[in-house]
Structure 1
Amino acid sequence: MSSKHIETQAIRTQIERSQFLEHSNPLYLTSSYVFEDAEDMRASFADEKVRNIYSRYSNPNTSEFIDKICKMEGAEQGYAFASGMSAVFSTFAALLNSGDHIVFSRSIFGSTQTMFNNILPKWNISTSSFKIDEIDKIESLIQPNTKILYTESPTNPAVDILDLELLGSIAKKHNLIFLVDNCFATPYLQQPIKFGADLVIHSATKLIDGQGRVLGGVTVGNSDLIQKIYLFSRNTGPALSPFNAWVLSKSLETLPARINMHCDNALNVAEFLESNDHVNFVKYPFLKSHPQYKLAKKQMKLGGNIVAFEIKGGIDAGRNFLNTIKLLSLSANLGDTRSIVTHPASTTHAKLSEEDRLITGITSGLIRVSVGLEHIDDIIGDLKQALEN
């Protein structure tokens, strides 16, 4: 029996059982596969057969993980990578040629921004960017050589929301590939393909794993585009390991339950911070004070687990806040069962100029909280004492 419910898809989508009829899918820790005879080998390498040849190309564990993400996102095909940034870079590298141009939202992950600024220009690939409040300027940035329109929503780290349906319509009008980083929302909270995205990227390291154990990334979407990404990746080697794929596939089985609790805790944290005298402002997609609250409610099932707030006192106050935290972790990761606090201006986005940080919503006192699964009273208690001390 097939199901359209995402909770069931995350659990019941699996590869065929072996002769041992295992209930939980086994690990396939093999680098290669054998062939029945010379003709089987020839036909497999000629792509006349769909089968596993070498685990850099495909593996039963990576195939299961990809299949689950595809069903949850409403995608046709996908490819899994060793990390989130491996997925980002390989996707762009597979689809772009020298002389191509990208239009992107200025509010993106710091490493992606560095890739656009310092790496892609080596191959004569140029970019133009727009602020989240400059959607009306996007079309003026599109050039004859523009190939991709790229965004994150919610954004990292200021959790702004972009209108995916509007961006999708712009991309379609100009025959662009619309590419969305859906890491903060996960397939459970948001499916960008419904709003016109051609491809969706995840850093599976974050909420998809959810316990800070393994690295992984995945790109899913249009089959013709995925085929180009597959051929590029098959030859350049950024593949996800079978063990990590097995862990991530099992993690997807608890994703809806975990995300529901993450979101409940995050909304409580956001409401507490909004009433605290030491805080200038709070941004959380499902707070009514969020500038794009109505849009967030349209696109997302819940508000996610990331809360951004500005502490009074600027960059020194931000650092002092981190030094006073006792329970929550100081880490650059997010999406863990453990709550994490980060001061982007001095850590994850420190290499950006102050101007670039401000454009992306990163003020000197901005704190990003990845709200975990601890008891909400303990999370809020630690934030409260750190703010007061």
Structure 2
Amino acid sequence: MTESTDPADTRPSPATLAVWAGEDRYLVDRATQVPVVHSVSFGYDDFDEWYDVATGVAKGHIYGRNTNPTVAVFEDKLRILEGAEAATSAATGMAAISNSLHALLRPGSKVVSVKDTYGGTSLLFTEFLPSIGIEVDLVDTTDFEAIETAIAAGCDLLYLETPTNPTLKVLDLPRLIAAGHAQGAIVMVDNTFATPINQLPLSLGADLVVHSATKFLGGHADALGGVVAGRRDLVEKVYHYREINGATLDPMAAYLLLRGMKTLHLRVERQAQNAHAVASFLEGHDRVTRVNYPGLTSHPQHDIAARQMSGFGGMLSFALDGGLESVKKFLPHMRYAHRAANLGSVETIIGPPATTSHVECTPEERAALGIPEGLVRYSTGIEGIDDLIADLTQALDAV
């Protein structure tokens, strides 16, 4: 787990932080890049020094399941980008989410969240947490009054995801965070789609922010990872749970995520530009019945997104006329898109929720969550925009 040592009076731009933040103290022998430290254990000649590090009195590393130098740099970079007091990592995004929930909740606790969370998160709320006596109330995602009513009825942890996966709904973070805090709840926000380049939930009042680092943070589809950042006291609890339960981020994965984060600002900026152009094109196509992208003025929560986000991101989704059968005909014709269960990479990635975000759910469960079988999730890459639109054109024509 890494903690803040930043001077409060200076903060470089996110583009600069993505390149430089958190790396100085781990550069060795005049290297300009952070090394990959594969050592499982770390040795000490002096017992007192060893004991102080082992008990947390002094900084250092003891055993790889707990902390690692390469992993610490990744945590620190994300902590600084999010403006957090502390951060800790996990082996995957779902490990970061589930570890946080299990660390902060007990039997009898109550969670309030929304129906549009990522499929794995949704199953935690509908299957795993209730099985250990934790009450979960899932409310219509954009009915903010209903969410506030559910919070007022009792809430220990408010879990928000915005924009949502895969419907790209946007939650009013300042409003809902205030409602959660009025009830004394911990407020946790999944910031995976927005990234710290486009949205800073902690600056809007959230207590914790969580990422699937596998996605936009890494950006190259070659490393799994998750990270939680926010209030030091809460992150310490999550770290303690993770170090004992063992969902540790691998040092090589941390290195790959770090390397990817160097270009985070550039990638996200280009992906957002491409996504806006693609969404605008799809909105005018006669074979597309619906486009979900917060950057479109037609998006129901566009004004909210414009207030709390500095950019609208690289994710969108759209529904095809003809439903799932049209999707089946459309997907094979895409040339510049991986048909795969991932997102946030430099390459465009495409797929329906039935095989990606909500593969764990039945068609009936997806329907209950407002996810039609004809929906296509589109993670925009950094390719030339003319090529992406031409590719979509020929694939839609084939339908």
Verify same fold: TM over 0.5: yes
- 1:5 is aligned, of 9, 13, 32, to 13
CA distance in 2, matches of 1:351, 1:18: 42
CA distance in 2, matches of 1:18, 1:283: 43
CA distance in 1, matches of 2:77, 2:197: 12
Asked if residue 283 in structure 1 is aligned to residue 265 in structure 2, the reply is no
Residues 246-287 of structure 1 deviation map (CA, whole Å, 9 limit, x = unaligned) = 111121111000111101111110011011111112111111
CA distance in 1, matches of 2:149, 2:127: 24
Aligned to 2:344: 335
The residue correspondences of 1:74-223 to structure 2 (distance < 5 A) are: 74-142=83-151, 146-223=155-232
Aligned to 1:224: 233
TM-score, scaled relative to structure 2: 0.93
CA distance in 2, matches of 1:82, 1:385: 39
Q: Which amino acid aligns with 2:68?
A: N
For residue 133 of structure 1, report the CA deviation from its aligned partner.
Answer: 2.5
TM-score, scaled relative to structure 1: 0.96
For residue 143 of structure 1, report the CA deviation from its aligned partner.
Answer: 7.0
- 1:312 is aligned, of 309, 321, 325, to 321
CA contact (8 A) 1:107 1:359 kept: no
State which drifts further: 224-233 or 131-140. 131-140
Q: Secondary structure at the match of 1:162?
A: coil
Q: Secondary structure at the match of 2:211?
A: strand
Residues 18 and 376 (structure 1), Cα distance of their counterparts in 2 relative to 1, 3 Å cut: closer
Q: Secondary structure at the match of 2:372?
A: coil
CA contact (8 A) 2:53 2:59 kept: yes
In structure 2, the gaps of 5 or more residues are 1-6
The residue correspondences of 1:229-378 to structure 2 (distance < 5 A) are: 229-345=238-354, 347-354=356-363, 356-378=365-387
CA distance in 1, matches of 2:213, 2:149: 34
State which drifts further: 174-183 or 234-243. 234-243
* Number of residue equivalences: 389
* Fraction of identical pairs, as percent: 35
In structure 1, the gaps of 5 or more residues are none
CA contact (8 A) 1:101 1:127 kept: yes
- CA-based RMSD of the aligned residues comes to 1.7
For residue 358 of structure 1, report the CA deviation from its aligned partner.
Answer: 3.6
Q: Which amino acid aligns with 1:246?
A: Y
For residue 346 of structure 1, report the CA deviation from its aligned partner.
Answer: 5.5
State which drifts further: 138-147 or 222-231. 138-147
Aligned to 1:29: 38
For residue 361 of structure 1, report the CA deviation from its aligned partner.
Answer: 3.3
Aligned to 1:16: 25
Q: Secondary structure at the match of 1:160?
A: coil
For residue 239 of structure 1, report the CA deviation from its aligned partner.
Answer: 1.3
For residue 359 of structure 1, report the CA deviation from its aligned partner.
Answer: 4.6
